[in-house]
Structure 1
Amino acid sequence: MALNIIQDQTLTFEQKVVNLARYAENTLNVLNISDEIQVLREAGIICDLFEGNAPYRPRYILPDYEKLMKKGCSFLELAPPTNIWEATHTLLIFYKHVPSITTMPVYIGNIDTLLEPFIENEEEARLAIKLFLTHIDRTITDSFCHANIGPKSTRAGRIILELEQELQNATPNITLKYDDTTSREFAELAIVTALKTAKPSFANDKMFKTELGEYGIASCYNGLPVAGGAHTLVRMNLAKLAMTVTDTEEFFETALPRAMECMANYIEERIRFIIEESTFFETNFLVKEGFIRKDNFTSMFGLVGLAECVNNLLSIEGHDDRFGHSQVANDLGEHIIEIMHTFIIEHVSPHCGATKERLLLHAQVGIGDDINVSPGCRIPIGEEPELLQHLVQSARFHKYFPSGIGDIFPFEVTAFNNPAYVLRIIEGAFKEGMRYFSLYSTESDVIRITGYLVKKSEIEKLDQGIATLQDTVVLGQGQVRNGRVLERKVQK
């Protein structure tokens, strides 16, 4: 296996180093895992999403970058920046030292408000920010890296959006925190940018703030506390779980409760190792200097394949209703989520100080190996209803997922001519209770795979056996082949 990694011609040197490190980590067996949990892991019903056998850092870390800009960093010998060049370089240096599941930062801050105070000359700032964004794309070679902007319009925010249209980079992913203080001009510029580059997505800022307080959007679309993060994300494949039962009674009375209990225990064991044995929180400078706090972390209880789970359970009972198209199917789907939500509320997770010792439910976006398994609570690709019905059906699930859920809507190129129309759609979706809205156009090279971004042209290179800079291209290739992401219904 290690030799295969070394000899793989589609991996860059950096990608080989990361893969070899993961291979070495997975030779360890340090977690206390019951036989029942292991059976569910081997069946693919429970999955730790490649976190490794010996978790030695939290999966997602969201540093307090505002503190960095105000006070600098002793460990990295960085003084507080005083101009736009120092500001961008301070951030770039700091990013290099922020770990995560990907080995690279999954959250790089509200970059518009971080840079705005240092803009004196817009022409100079544009050059500095252009180099800043280019540097991120070329060195943080993983599109789970996520920047935030908004909610208010700033000069830095406008420059970032305009440059993203020009640069056409897959990294960083970007979210616009949208609320009633966001100017329509800024929001419409964001929509045009998203149609060209698949970013930014729109986050319902009021909804996230109410539930999480000071938050950031990290990785795909994960809402988490700033100056904290998430120890781990483990997911349940509901589609596979439903295949193990003979009727709905068995699913609700036995299979689902046992799977939830096992997964919660597995999550707690992973948290325990990080907190009690890894020494991360005792030794890392991010903790020592207050950029993150041990008591400001949570963990994520993920799920995928709700649609396939519902469809299979109804089929067992002799019904042909389909998730997304039937009140019966949609109600059954929400019933499953309500049960999982209740379980989360009742389960005590002592180290999740950020969320009152509770885990957070998360609609996981899937992995490249998933076949016939839809992300989170999404309607399967190819079965999407008309837009209004789709938005209403989707929105009913978003209230259960404070740590992340979202839907993706490709638009025809004609949408470029009417961004105000698209904005009204987003505003209507948020009024219905939708948390997160992503869009791109059919003509865009940069596309949103599930939550992360990849260039179609880079997937084509990988198909030809040519190594690509971004390691997430491999994941995107799998989703194109197995998840039909290029076949989403296009909105007109």
Structure 2
Amino acid sequence: MNIEQEITQSTLRIVGDTSLTHEQAMMNLSKIPGQFVYGFLPPQGYGKLLNQGVLSDLGEGYAPICPRYILPDYDLFLKKGCSFLRIDPPKDLFEAIEALKMFYRHIPSITNFPVYLGRLDRMLQPFIRDEAEARRLIRHFMIFLDRTISDSYAHANIGPEATLAGEIILDCDYELQNATPSITLLYDPAITPDAFAARCARNDLACAKPSFANDAVYKNAYAGEYGIASCYNVLPVGGGAFTLARLNLKAAAEQAQSTEDLLERVLPEAVALNCAFMDEKIKFLIEKSLFFRSNFLVQEGFLHLDRFTGMFGVVGLAECVNHLEALEGRAGVLYGHSGAADSLAHRVMTRLTELVHAYKSPYCAVSGGHYSLHAQVGLDIDIGVSSGARIPIGDEIELYAHLRHAGQFHPYFHSGVGDIFPFEVTAKRNPESMVDLIKGAFSVGMRYFSAYASDADVIRITGYLVKKSDIEKLARGEAVQQDNVIWGLGEVQNSHILDRKVRSL
């Protein structure tokens, strides 16, 4: 099939797909040219590992027009307004919300929607004068976000302090049960009141948000402020991530003849090629693409080139270790279930960290001059590959052991990692116990904790949120408003997301 035939086939498939909304169809159509245009060439040897499934460009294409993840300085925007958009600094809550609604419309990303909405409670709190009015305005704001940003990679942060704005956001989310935006509490037990944390835990069980991020650790991730964007990506505010390219450790292990072969031949080659690939992509993005040369976000100081880094994604640690154990004649010695397997996992991650950090990139000063490891959540087409460093669904271990295990491996991933735990409905009666559980998990090294109750409609798939009721609609061929449901259906079918072990407190 030639290029013209491929373009024709892809176009006709999209325009005839009745499960897509008009907006979803338009966005899918816009991606087609990028599949056939090469603004830069990948390094020699990259294509081989791409075809083997060892490496993935995660659908960014070879002529990017903007960074993958963008975290504007919203505090600066609310302070000075925006000249390009002709928005004056807001003077009250109504104006602040209207200004943000206009500003969000112009924040690009890999999804074409903003992936970071800022620290909403801190941004809105200074404008609150009357609680009743604030509740009315913020409620409509939350509805607006869900209906106009049809992608739950859009992520808002709250905390670590308790605020009236934060309480209102939580109450609205609890009532509305919307999948967008995703929300994270930047949680620090030394700062966050227990009552506010319990309120967040109540919401987490009811509608899968907010997740809890270990703020005491993450606030030192970069010089300056950080934010949680997209799934659980930890990135510098005023910057973000140029790109995310991933390494599939399971596929890498399948190319190795032994553990030593993986550590000394396969991984060094894969890391070098993945990093070189990101170098070329970022060079094109900075020097040839329009964004950093002309976008108003850069020109007005809401973003800074030196606040961006690149993310080195990782999936399939569990399957990698299990394969290596079998290769060495120890079939049945499983990641998460065996000290020997976990020791091997540490060897793999230590070696991977050494290789990634040894590769110096001219584009990553904010992350120490090297790319930042990230526990990538996976793709809807992945089969038999677990997100990041997670224990596979179906192999889960006892809850407290699982949390301690996660605490061992979360610290490897500087730019984001997380685990997800469904709970029995009875957990809703005791959110305070959930807070105690999270405190314990963070004390043993865990970085990011997500949960939902087994009867919740809004659930966390891998890192994003969808409604189970929307998955059921899409499975029947009905169009749904939210883009993520398409991927969520694939994850349900291929990764058995709905079969996660349900926990009890």
CA shift digits 1:79-109 (9 cap, x unpaired) = 0111111111110110000000001000000
Which of 94, 107, 119 matches 2:116? Answer: 107
- Other structure's SS at 1:211 match: coil
Q: Taking every aligned residue pair, what percent have the same amino acid on both sides?
A: 51
Separation in 2 of the partners of 1:171 and 1:447?
A: 11
Contact 2:271–2:356 (Cα < 8 Å) also in 1:
no
Which of 101, 109, 124 matches 2:133? Answer: 124
Contact 1:49–1:234 (Cα < 8 Å) also in 2:
yes
> Counterpart in 2 of 1:247?
258
State yes or no: 1:325 paired with 2:344.
Answer: no
Residue identity opposite 2:196 in structure 1: F
State yes or no: 1:15 paired with 2:27.
Answer: no
Contact 2:286–2:293 (Cα < 8 Å) also in 1:
no
Which of 350, 356, 370 matches 2:362? Answer: 350
Separation in 2 of the partners of 1:263 and 1:94?
A: 34
- Other structure's SS at 2:116 match: coil
- Other structure's SS at 1:177 match: strand
Contact 1:26–1:54 (Cα < 8 Å) also in 2:
no
Separation in 2 of the partners of 1:176 and 1:42?
A: 39
- Other structure's SS at 2:118 match: coil
CA shift digits 1:432-491 (9 cap, x unpaired) = 011100011001000000000000000000000011100110110011011111111111
Give 1:34 deviation, angstroms: 3.1
- Other structure's SS at 1:321 match: coil
Residue identity opposite 1:234 in structure 2: A
* TM-score normalized with structure 2 length: 0.96
Separation in 2 of the partners of 1:232 and 1:118?
A: 35
State yes or no: 1:312 paired with 2:311.
Answer: no
State yes or no: 1:73 paired with 2:82.
Answer: yes
Which of 247, 250, 254 matches 1:236? Answer: 247
> Counterpart in 2 of 1:403?
415
Residue identity opposite 1:115 in structure 2: L
Give 1:353 deviation, angstroms: 2.6
Separation in 2 of the partners of 1:258 and 1:346?
A: 13
CA shift digits 1:249-270 (9 cap, x unpaired) = 2212211111111111111111
Residue identity opposite 2:268 in structure 1: P
- Other structure's SS at 1:350 match: coil
Contact 2:154–2:182 (Cα < 8 Å) also in 1:
yes
Separation in 2 of the partners of 1:253 and 1:297?
A: 30
Separation in 2 of the partners of 1:310 and 1:31?
A: 35
> Counterpart in 2 of 1:182?
192
Give 1:155 deviation, angstroms: 0.3
1:112-191 pair list within 5 angstroms:
112-179=121-188, 180-191=190-201
> Counterpart in 1 of 2:401?
389
Residue identity opposite 2:358 in structure 1: E
CA shift digits 1:58-80 (9 cap, x unpaired) = 00000000001110000010001
Contact 2:241–2:308 (Cα < 8 Å) also in 1:
yes
Q: How many residues align?
A: 492
Separation in 2 of the partners of 1:344 and 1:209?
A: 22
> Counterpart in 2 of 1:292?
303
Runs of 4+ displaced beyond 2 Å? none
> Counterpart in 2 of 1:203?
213
Separation in 2 of the partners of 1:462 and 1:215?
A: 36
1:42-53 pair list within 5 angstroms:
42-53=51-62
State yes or no: 1:3 paired with 2:17.
Answer: no
- The unaligned stretches of length 5 or more in structure 2 are 1-9
Give 1:417 deviation, angstroms: 1.1
Separation in 1 of the partners of 2:365 and 2:290?
A: 18
State yes or no: 1:413 paired with 2:425.
Answer: yes
Residue identity opposite 2:108 in structure 1: P
* TM-score normalized with structure 1 length: 0.99
Residue identity opposite 2:291 in structure 1: F
Give 1:31 deviation, angstroms: 1.7
- Other structure's SS at 1:399 match: helix
Contact 2:43–2:276 (Cα < 8 Å) also in 1:
no
- The unaligned stretches of length 5 or more in structure 1 are none
Give 1:399 deviation, angstroms: 1.3
Give 1:189 deviation, angstroms: 0.4
Residue identity opposite 1:158 in structure 2: E
- Other structure's SS at 2:286 match: helix
- Other structure's SS at 1:28 match: coil
CA shift digits 1:182-212 (9 cap, x unpaired) = 0111000000011110000000001001122
CA shift digits 1:324-381 (9 cap, x unpaired) = 0001111111111111111122111101132132110000001100100000000000
Separation in 1 of the partners of 2:376 and 2:272?
A: 18
Separation in 1 of the partners of 2:92 and 2:488?
A: 38
Separation in 2 of the partners of 1:150 and 1:99?
A: 25
Which of 91, 95, 116 matches 1:82? Answer: 91
State yes or no: 1:372 paired with 2:384.
Answer: yes
